[in-house]
Amino acid sequence: MKKMVQFGVIARNFSNSSAMQSAIKNITVIGGGLMGSGIAQVSAQAGQNVTLVDLSPEVLAKSQKSIGANLGRVAKKVYKDKPQDGEKFVAESMARIKTSTDPAAAAKSADLVVEAIVENMGVKHKLFKQLDAVAPEHTIFASNTSSLSINEICSVVKRKDRFGGLHFFNPVPVMRLLEVVRGAETSDATYKTMMEWGKAVGKTCITCKDTPGFVVNRLLVPYICEAIRLYERGDASARDIDTAMKLGAGYPMGPLELADYVGLDTNKFILDGWHNKYPDQPLFKPIPLLNKLVSEGKLGVKAGEGFYKYEKK
């Protein structure tokens, strides 16, 4: 049943993509990590020309490999009875993705730049300032930030009317939602183009204001943090908390499993940032157990241990 649902989602995303049109033809994705590689993949499979940028050539090589493997999974499902068409789909999608280690050069030919680099305001400011000086007048800038303010990120660029948030979910090829975030100065035309582009790459778009965590993370972060506090108090075991939310509330992963999947360092980073900004909000208060796990390097799936132990890949 689970497989059938996932298959339906991927096939639906793909057919939506083929049917939809977007004014955006050339997209530059900056940051070739977990999220950037997924954004590059869904864009390329929807027929867009993609330049995927990272500072590290090793990251780009790894991203290309994982995109190829994930496109292969899509092809297997969508072209189940036509393997040759599947191979063509993978080859054509891969051919639409170029890679680069030079963000400024890659922005020069972009209709849309989606930034998915490290969640750090200073680093994002430095990048966007550089891009604003070289990108064509019409180019729209968007950030995939999980927790930072879009208005604050875009404070360093002149094109504030052509700036917004495009917040994807992990794993990007599977999760159907895209949050389209309007900053204070995002123009109607930019907003409309972002919504159309989101549909064109197969996502269901919702509109959010520039508030902490937008919609999903504003609800998800306190939920995960409450689960960690529950476990920290010894009210239930980790396994029982996760089983409870999977079987009692129908979530695909329990909150502690999801925290490990996202990364405990990311959880902590978001919580600390919001706590500094909103010190009176009890939901954003630091969690000693989370701080301890992070200080011990137990960052979740990627580190081989978090709330649970994992085999290192």
Ligand X SMILES: NC(=O)C1=CN([C@@H]2O[C@H](COP(=O)(O)OP(=O)(O)OC[C@H]3O[C@@H](n4cnc5c(N)ncnc54)[C@H](O)[C@@H]3O)[C@@H](O)[C@H]2O)C=CC1
Binding residues: 31-36, 54, 119, 124, 146, 170, 302
Closest among 161, 159, 218 to 185, alpha carbons compared: 161
For ligand X, the closer CB: 86 or 210: 210
Give the H/E segment covering residue 197: helix 188-200
CA-to-CA distance for 52 and 67, rounded, in angstroms?
11
- In the complex, what is the shortest distance from the CB of residue 168 to ligand ZOZ, in angstroms, rounded to a whole number? 7
By CB under 6 A, residue 270 contacts ligand ZOZ: yes
Among 170, 185, 206, 215, binds ligand ZOZ (CB under 6 A): 170
Which residue in 258, 294, 301, 303 binds ligand ZOZ (CB under 6 A)?
A: 258
Q: Taking the complex as a whole, how short is the minimal distance between the CB of residue 82 and ligand ZOZ, in angstroms?
A: 17
HSE, side-chain direction, 13 A CA sphere, residue 284:
18
Contact 163, 140 (CB under 8 A): yes
Do 114 and 166 form a contact (C-beta atoms < 8 A)?
A: yes
Looking at residue 180, the DSSP 8-state letter turns out to be E
Q: Looking at beta carbons only, is 107 or 238 nearer to ligand ZOZ?
A: 238
User: Binder to ligand ZOZ among 217, 238, 299, 300 (CB under 6 A)?
Assistant: 217
Residues in 11-50 that interact with ligand ZOZ by CB under 6 A: none
| 3-class secondary structure, 166 | strand
CB 128 within 8 A of CB 141: yes
Task: Find the binder of ligand X among 144, 149, 186, 193 (CB under 6 A).
Answer: 144
Give residues with Cβ within 8 angstroms of 148, minimum separation 6.
Answer: 119, 121, 124, 273
Which residues of this chain interact with ligand ZOZ, rule CB under 6 A? 2-3, 6, 10, 70, 73, 146, 169-171, 173-175, 217, 220-221, 224, 252-253, 258, 262, 266-267, 270
Which residues of this chain interact with ligand X, rule CB under 6 A? 30-36, 53-56, 59, 103, 116-119, 123, 127, 144-146, 168, 170, 262, 266
